[in-house]
């Protein structure tokens, strides 16, 4: 499996992806908003884009579909429930479905509601464990829920699916929000040494050569995975004095999501 992360350099700080089979050169494009950059990258590598996956229905993920289909004839896939919002979708995908790319790549579809209610993440298993997570999980952060999502569902997705993936899973999100997210982690957990050590380097990083994190690292620096941290809870009780001494993880997640909305 060859992964190319494409930095769009747009105002939304979107990442697009090409995933290719090393043997056949067939490629899947994920959320190819910047269709020109995606097509140029495929051409430079000698790849043929045969499939497109939209992680969800937001325009900053679907906006390049038409041009990509026109240029490649690729089949367009998205969440099985997203048909109404996605003109031109060829195939609906559900949890457990497998997307095959060429001869060597298999990706499993996960149904991951929360950011929207029709959101798909795809994962690669084994030695090349990876998660392409759209706007559900960001480096050091979580997607918002105010354009068709629900924080309760986002918590269930994090706790019930994402947190259980193997630690070595490489994380490929839909946007570059890492610097701001690390700053939020430090606002919520000022003694998070891993986040503190990371932030200066990240503030200087060139997003076209972005750090690819692992789930293990996310569990250290992403406040939405740190729901039992005593300092996260202590700081949260300062903001919400009505919280009990030991709030349950869901409550902590929902309060963090709420604070992040206006931070």
| Secondary element (H or E) of residue 218 | helix 215-221
Query: Please, which residue, 10 or 208, has the CB nearer to Zn ion?
Result: 10
Q: Contact with Zn ion (CB under 5 A): which of 26, 135, 176, 189?
A: 135
Q: Which stretch binds Zn ion (CB under 5 A): 22-30, 134-142, 158-166, 248-256?
A: 134-142
DSSP strands (E only) in the chain: 2-7, 15-20, 26-30, 48-53, 75-79, 91-93, 98-101, 105-111, 120-124, 130-134, 137-138, 141-142, 170-173, 213-214
User: Which residues in 219-238 contact Zn ion (CB under 5 A)?
Assistant: none
Phi, psi of 222 (to 5 degrees): -100, 110
How many residues bind Zn ion (CB under 5 A)? The answer is 4
Q: Find the shortest distance in angstroms from Cβ 149 to Zn ion.
A: 8
**57 or 189: CB nearest Zn ion:** 57
In the complex, minimum distance from the CB of residue 144 to Zn ion, in angstroms, rounded to a whole number: 8
The distance of closest approach from Cβ of residue 115 to Zn ion in the complex, given in angstroms and rounded to an integer, is 6
Q: Which whole-number Å values give the CA distances from 252 to 61, 82, 95, 142, 196, in the listed order? A: 29, 30, 27, 14, 22
Q: Which of residues 55-74 bind Zn ion (CB under 5 A)?
A: 58, 60
Minimum CB separation from Zn ion for residue 143, in Å? 7
Residue number with CB closer to Zn ion (58 or 257): 58
Distance CA(211)–CA(201), nearest Å, equals 10
> Binding residues for Zn ion, per CB under 5 A?
58, 60, 135, 174
């Amino acid at each position: 499996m060859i992964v190319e992360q494409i930095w769009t350099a747009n105002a939304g700080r979107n990442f697009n992806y090409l995933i290719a089979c090393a043997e056949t050169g067939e490629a899947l494009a994920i959320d190819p908003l910047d269709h020109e950059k995606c097509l140029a990258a495929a051409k430079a590598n000698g790849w043929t884009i045969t499939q497109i996956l939209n992680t969800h229905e937001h325009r900053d993920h679907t906006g390049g579909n038409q041009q990509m289909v026109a240029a490649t004839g690729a089949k367009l896939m998205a969440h099985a429930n997203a048909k109404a919002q996605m003109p031109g979708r060829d195939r609906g995908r559900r949890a457990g479905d497998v997307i095959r790319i060429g001869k060597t790549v298999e990706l499993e579809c996960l149904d991951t509601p929360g950011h929207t209610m029709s959101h798909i993440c795809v994962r690669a298993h084994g030695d090349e464990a990876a998660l392409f997570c759209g706007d559900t999980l960001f480096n050091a952060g979580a997607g918002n829920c105010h354009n068709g999502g629900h924080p309760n569902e986002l918590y269930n997705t994090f706790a019930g699916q994402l947190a259980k993936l193997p630690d070595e899973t490489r994380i490929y999100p839909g946007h570059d929000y890492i610097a701001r997210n690390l700053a939020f982690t430090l606002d919520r957990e000022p003694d998070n040494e891993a986040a503190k050590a990371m932030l200066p380097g990240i503030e200087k990083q060139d997003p076209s050569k972005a750090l690819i994190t692992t789930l293990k690292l996310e569990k250290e620096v992403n406040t939405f995975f740190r729901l039992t941290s005593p300092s996260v809870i202590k700081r949260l009780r300062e903001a919400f004095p009505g919280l009990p001494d030991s709030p349950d993880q869901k409550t902590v997640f929902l309060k963090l999501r709420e604070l992040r909305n206006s931070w």
